[in-house]
Amino acid sequence: MSVDGWKTILVLGGIRSGKSEFAESLVTDAPVVRYVATAPEGDPEDTEWATRLAAHRARRPGSWTTEETAGEPRRLADVLASAEPNETLLVDDLGGWVTVLLDPDHQPADDLATIAELAEAIRTCPARVVLVSPEVGLSLVPTTPLGRAFTDALGAANRAVADACDAVVLVVAGQPAWLKPAASAPTAATTATAPTAAATVAASVGSAPVRPVDAEPTPEVQLPDVLTHTPPVAPNQEPGNPWAAPTMALPMVATGLVIQPGMELPMPDEYAGPQAVDRLATLDVPGAGLGVLDRVVGFAAATQGTSTPLAWGSVRVLLLHGDHAGGASAGTVAGESARRAAQARAGQGALARLAAESGASLQVVDTPAAAPMEHEPALTPEQVESALRYGWRLAEQAADAGVQLLVLGACGAGTEAAAAAVLAATAGAEPPAVLGRVITDSGEIDDAAWMIRCAAVRDALHRTRSSPRGAKDILSELGGGDVAVATGVLLGATARRVPVLLDGPVGLAAGMVSRDLAGQARHWCLLADHGGHPAARLAADVLGLTPLLDLRLDLGEGANALVALPLLRSVLALAAALPVHPSLAGDAALDEPESPATDPDDTEPDDTEPDHAAEPDFVEPEPAGPGPTSTAPDEQPASGWRAG
C-alpha cells in the first residue's frame, strides 16, 4: 500500500471537473511516471479536440514518458502487467479506452471479458496506478443505440475498476470526495482541494515502490516525539525558564513502502552548485575567500536548486539508539547507551545542549536491538523491511514539518563494530583496519576489548562468507537496527530532497548500504568531520565525501556535526549577503555619490540645532540571513528555498 493505504486509485469526475489535474497532482513527485494515453487522435479537422489533447500534453513534466494504447484496447492490460515496481502509471482515461473498445474495427469482441481482464491486471500490477475515468449516470439516458452502448460499457468498466482499486475518489468542481477509502481513512490534508491534496499525498506516493497486493499489512510503529529545547542559562546568569516540554511529533499516515535495489530517486541540481562556487569568486571579500568551505556553498546550492543558497534555518537531529549484542559491544558499560538516550530526551548532555544552542529540534529514535552477529543474523528480514520503512517515515515527517537539514547521530553499544562489519562486506576492508581503539570511561585504551570486537567482526564475516551481499542481506546479517533505520532515513530524505549531515560510522555505513538501493542518496549527504575514525575515513573515501573539517572531535555521533553547524550556517549566510566586488560591478559602482545641492548664502549654522557634523553616524548592521537560531518554516525567505 501507499499513502492512506492505497496503491491503486480510480479518479472519477464529470467533464471539466478537474479530475485529470487531480490525478496528475497525485504523482507530481513520483520519480518514474509513465503516462498511458488511451484516447485516439480523432479527426484532424476537429481543432477543439486537438486543443484538449495539446493542453493535456503541455501539463506533463518533461521527465514523464508517454505510452499510447489507442490502437489496441487489450494492450492496456498488458502494459499494467509488465510495469516495474518502481514505476507510477497514470492512465487517462477509461472513457477514451471504452471508445476504442466499441470501435467497429475491434468488433465483434467480448467487451465484458476485456473489462474483466483490465480489472485483474490492476489487482496484480506491481506498480502504483492512478486511473482517470468520466463518471456516467449523471445525465439523461442517451437516445441513440451507440450512446447507450457507450454508457453501459463505461459504467461496467467503472464498476469493475473501482472494485479492483484500493481507493476511489469523485472530483466535483475541483473538490475530491473520497468514495472508497482504504484501510486508513484519508486525512484532512488529503481531502483538500485538488492541487493542495496532491502536495501532501504525492510527496510520498512517488517516493518508492509499494507493497505487493498479496502481502500482509505491517502495523506501523508510532514515530517518536520531536523534542525542542531551549539553551541552558550560563552559570553567571539568572536562571530563566526550565527546559521546554517536548512537542509531539506530527501525525504520520502509514506508507507501507517496499524499498528495493535500483530505485530512481531525485538528484541535486547539477548546475546550481558550480554556479554558486563561481559566484563566490566575484564577492567583495578582502582575502582569498572561503577556502575549502566553498564546498558547503556548492552543496547547499545543488540541494536547494539555486546559485544563491540560504543558510539552513530548520534543522532536526535524529539520534538513533540501538544496541548490538555479543562481541561487538565489548568494552562498553551495560546500560550506558540507554542513559545517553534518556539524557538527550531530557535536554541534557552534549548532543541535546548543542542542538538547543543551534535551535535544532531533536528526535530520539529507538531501533531494534541486534543479535550477536558472530553467531546469527543481527536482524530478521522482516525487521529489516520494517526498519527501512520506519527510517523513511522519519525523513518524510521531517520534510512535512519544513525541516531543511537532517543531522544523523547514534548512541548505541557496538555501533562501531557493526559499521566495521558493513564496511568489510561492502568495501572489502579488513576489520582491524577500520575498528577504532576502545577508550574506557577513565580515558584508558582497552586493547582486550578491541581484540574481542575484531574477532566478532571476523567471525561474522566468516559465517556469512557464502551469503548474498545485497543491501538488505548485509543489513540483516551484519548491520542491525540502527544502520537499517539510518539507511531508510537517507533514502527518504533523498526522495524528499532534504540534505543530510553525516557524523560517524553509523551514518556512513548506512550511506554504503544505500548505494545499492538508490545511488542518488550519497549526493544528498555532507560530511563535516570524520573525527579521526578509521571506518568513517574509509567510507567517506568510497562514497566520495570529502570532510570539510579536521577537528578530531569525539563528542558522540551527531554532536560533532552540531559543533560545525554554526560555522556552516555562517558561511552560507555570508555567501548569500555579500555584494559583488566593485571592480566587477561596472563603472557605475565606482562613481562617488553627488553631494546634495545647498544654498551658497546659507553658511551660518542654525543656533537652534546642535552641530553633529564632527560625529560619525552609527549604523546598526542588519543580519544577513538566518543565523544559528531556528525559525519556523513559514518565516524563511521564499527565494531559492524549497519547502519540504
Concatenate the DSSP letters of all residues of 254-299 into one string: ---B---TT-------TTHHHHHHHHHTTB--SSS--GGGHHHHHH
Which own/partner contact pairs does 98-104 have at CB distance under 8 Å and 24+ positions apart? Answer: 98/150, 98/153, 98/154, 98/157, 99/39, 99/40, 99/150, 100/38, 100/39, 100/40, 100/70, 100/71, 100/73, 101/73, 101/153, 102/146, 102/149, 102/150, 102/153
Q: What is the CA radius of gyration of the chain?
A: 30
Q: Of 394, 422, 421, nearest to 408 (Cα)?
A: 394
Looking at 24, 416, 557, 620, which residue is catalytic?
557
Question: How many whole angstroms from its chain centre is CA 587?
Answer: 46
Query: Is 557 marked active-site?
Result: yes
What is the DSSP secondary-structure string of 312-372?
P-SEEEEEEE--B-GGGGTTPPTTHHHHHHHHHHTT-HHHHHHHHHTT-EEEEEE-PPBP-
Residue (of 553, 172, 219) closest to 386 by Cα position: 219
Strand order in the sheet with 500-502: 361-366, 315-321, 405-410, 500-502, 525-527
Q: What is the distance between the terminal CA atoms of the chain, rounded to a whole angstrom?
A: 23
* CA atoms of 122 and 166, how far apart (whole Å): 10
Give the position of cell 549654522: 605
Asked if 363 and 252 touch (Cβ cutoff 8 Å), the reply is: no
Integer Cα distance of 447 and 444 in angstroms = 9
Residue 103, φ and ψ in degrees, nearest 5: -60, 135
Q: 174-178 contacts: CB < 8 A, separation 24 or more?
A: 174/17, 174/18, 174/21, 174/22, 176/22
Q: Known catalytic residues?
A: 557
